[in-house]
Amino acid sequence: PMYFFLSFLSFVDICYSSATAPKLIADFQVKVNSISFVACVVQLFCAHVFGCTVIFSLTVMDFDRYVAICKSLHYTTIM
């Protein structure tokens, strides 16, 4: 399961960075740095969703390692 969690974490990190990077790159190339309210809300929502998903996946990964180390005989039934 750890490799599944690591692949999921890398996928969510890619999504998290792609939520803000395109607008940031576009703002570096133009002189007028403005964003509409709807685009701002969507960007903020995506950043929060992917940020919370990273936190929850790290929590699940920590629990997975805890069970694997401390309760190794019961690992398959718990996970």
Give the single-character DSSP code of 30: S
The residue-averaged pLDDT of 25-36 equals 85
Is pTM, for the whole model, over 0.85?
A: no
Mean pLDDT across the stretch 71-79?
84
> In 2-36, which ranges are continuous DSSP H helix?
2-29
The closest of 46, 52, 55 to 18, measured between CA atoms, is: 46
Band (26; pLDDT cuts 50, 70, 90): confident
* pLDDT > 80? residue 23: yes
Q: What is the per-residue pLDDT for 46?
A: 92
Residue 19 in contact with residue 50, Cβ under 8 Å?
yes
Average pLDDT of the residues in 4-20: 90
Q: Which of 77, 5, 78, 14 is nearest to 46 (CA)?
A: 14
